[in-house]
Structure 1
């Protein structure tokens, strides 16, 4: 099996919405990493304290064949077509360990579905 990873940077108030959309599109789970970032515009400050909105990185390890549909789903759910809402990108994955139990369950589900 070939895998890819989607990394999506989103504001924390829409993290759950993005993850739910990814799952509805076929993702089996996600890892949420708290983050902070900088964009094209300077963050607003108040007495020297940054007022940046909190950000999460949503990491999705996916089988290659469902990457496009999951990416489209999180883009729509996160409203990535609007400025400042988030970004997502896809990276290839060379090797994966730790998914043996999930792969075995997936094979069993396929056998039950088709045989």
Structure 2
């Protein structure tokens, strides 16, 4: 059985293409790229040889075997341990909405489905929805129908979309929006199902959704109290 993770990479924008190519060479074909800004103090930047320029944030789904291979390539080929190169880390994935989406997100990786994430006792989950640009309201309308609260949207560019026809049977555009929604664990399946049915691959949004376990929260007391009434 394989474990599945979301791999997050933060690096300087000029290195984005090199990281994407490194990941493709080591099995992570599909991903999303967005832009961020570093906030470290000047003395920290100087110590690590970094700068305050815009950053690229990359998201890929990887198996445990793929992560081991990628981690070795990051150290050997990308020399990620040198100051200024960036950082990569992984977060366990709870579930993916649909077999087609799973096959697409892990294309090129050998994946044997087992149980959901070992973090089974979490009260909340983070839903990550990747949708075509301009269709986040369609996604949120579907989620709200089953009592999801609000979400946060970031603009992104998809990588590996040329594989979509093979694994999904559809053509995907590179321009994407990523939507992050924190939900109660007991609501997760119904909300994911609603998104797949009303804003999924057969819709204009062409959404793909997966979930990550959330170990603790702050600022969600009102949602918790409303759920208890």
TM-score by length of 2: 0.38
How many Å separate the matches in 2 of 1:40 and 1:33? 18
How many Å separate the matches in 1 of 2:150 and 2:140? 8
Unaligned runs of 5+ in 1: 43-51, 111-115
SS of the residue 2:178 aligns to: strand
Q: Does 1:21 align with 2:170?
A: no
Any residues of structure 2 matched to 1:1-115 within 5 Å, and which? 2-41=123-162, 53-80=174-201, 85-104=206-225, 106=226, 110=229
Unaligned runs of 5+ in 2: 1-121, 164-172
Give the deviation of 1:80 after TM superposition.
2.4
Determine which structure has greater relative contact order: mean sequence separation of CA pairs < 8 Å that are 6+ residues apart, divided by chain length.
1
Give the deviation of 1:28 after TM superposition.
1.4
TM-score by length of 1: 0.72
Kindly report the root-mean-square deviation, in angstroms, between the aligned alpha carbons of the 2 structures. Answer: 2.4
Give the deviation of 1:73 after TM superposition.
0.7
Change (3 A) 1:103 1:86: closer
How many Å separate the matches in 2 of 1:86 and 1:20? 13
Q: Deviations over 1:74-111 (max 9, x none)?
A: 111223258x923110111111112234434x16x70x
